[in-house]
Structure 1
Amino acid sequence: MDQDLEFLFSKITDPNESEAYVFADKLGLKANEEAKDKLLELVKGDNWEISYLACRALSKTIWQDEALDAIFDVIFDRKNKNLQGAFVQILEEYDLSLRFVDIFRVYLFGNFKASTLAKDYLDQVEFEITPRTIRKAEKHWNHYLHNPEDEGSMAIKKAEIEPMLLEMKELFS
């Protein structure tokens, strides 16, 4: 790896670096295939702050699909339940138009902050919807109905989700 990239990696992994966001952005703009692989490793690492910076760097690259796969893996990993909100927040840097089902799952099963942010994405992003997308969303909705993590929010989600799914189905009938 070239010296510029190594320098930028050292800056985003330095806990005392106050300008780490700036260096993450620069790293994303200069990243090559080798840097992408290292960033993906950092996304899945144990230090959530460095993971977040790696997500930010990846948002500036051409490898957004791979990055989103890694980010959603981190979000859905049970050990990160308390950190989901930060990782859902970084999604604003990405094109989410093909990720309706992933965002929908975060809305259903995420912690309060993650779920709230996911609801905002559901309301604001223009998603590519297909009949298959609707079937997948219904599968997750049925799973949620039979295994709610929070009984208190079920009525609220039911009032929001059922009309949404119905409206999407009507698009294809």
Structure 2
Amino acid sequence: MQEEIQKLIDRMLDPKEEDAYYFADKLGAMADEATKDHLIALVKGDHWESAFLACRALSKSTFAAEALEAIFEIIFDRKNKSHQGEFVQILEEFDLSNSFVDLFRVFLFGNFKASTLAKVYLDEVEFEITPRTIRKAEKHWNHYLHNPEDEGSLALKKVEVEPMLQEMRELFED
């Protein structure tokens, strides 16, 4: 079994392989605890294309929820700023219903592609919202208000974020 898993990893990571997604999906379906650990190490590694494929494999595994923490960690890592969008894009393969605050942070602080994709997820995914979720989102929003990247983006974000937060607060006003 381990030999077969290693062959899948090698095929997935081969830069000449045209069917890398196929091997990532197959690897994810077969992943055990050791494979999960290896894939998460790839996610946190220095080669973004290997990390992306490892994310894909993890999305097809029984460890997908556990892998989200590592993926958000690399999204927020400054060294990945130029590839944030790719990592946010792979999130479409995961259940994001418990990831509102992380996606909200990406929306606020991510590069253009990452922020745009995060906004799509915020609009389309049905999240588990609690008063604690709202408080955390408001904390990040206040941080953004006091540290905007530029005044133009601040005005645009206000138009989108303030009604969103107000709508969520109203859910718990009874």
Classify the TM-score, shorter chain: over 0.9
What is the TM-score of this pair, normalised by structure 2?
A: 0.98
Residue in structure 1 matched with residue 96 of structure 2 by the alignment: 96
Deviation of 1:63 (Å): 1.0
CA distance in 2, matches of 1:91, 1:63: 14
CA distance in 1, matches of 2:147, 2:62: 37
Tell me the secondary structure at the aligned position of residue 167 of structure 1: helix
Query: Structure 1, residues 101-157: CA drift from partner, whole Å, max 9, x if none?
Result: 000000000000000000000000000000000000000000000001132111111
Aligned residues: 173
* 2:72 matches 1:72: yes
Residue in structure 2 matched with residue 129 of structure 1 by the alignment: 129
**Which of structure 1's runs of 4+ aligned residues deviate more than 6 A?**
none
What is the TM-score of this pair, normalised by structure 1?
A: 0.98
CA distance in 1, matches of 2:151, 2:14: 42
Query: Structure 1, residues 15-62: CA drift from partner, whole Å, max 9, x if none?
Result: 111111100000000011110000000001111111000000000111
Residue in structure 2 matched with residue 157 of structure 1 by the alignment: 157
Task: Please list, as runs of the form range in 1=range in 2, the aligned pairs for 1:7-46 lying within 5 A after superposition.
Answer: 7-46=7-46
Tell me the secondary structure at the aligned position of residue 149 of structure 1: coil
Deviation of 1:12 (Å): 1.3
Unpaired segments ≥5 residues, structure 2:
none
Identity of aligned residues (%): 70
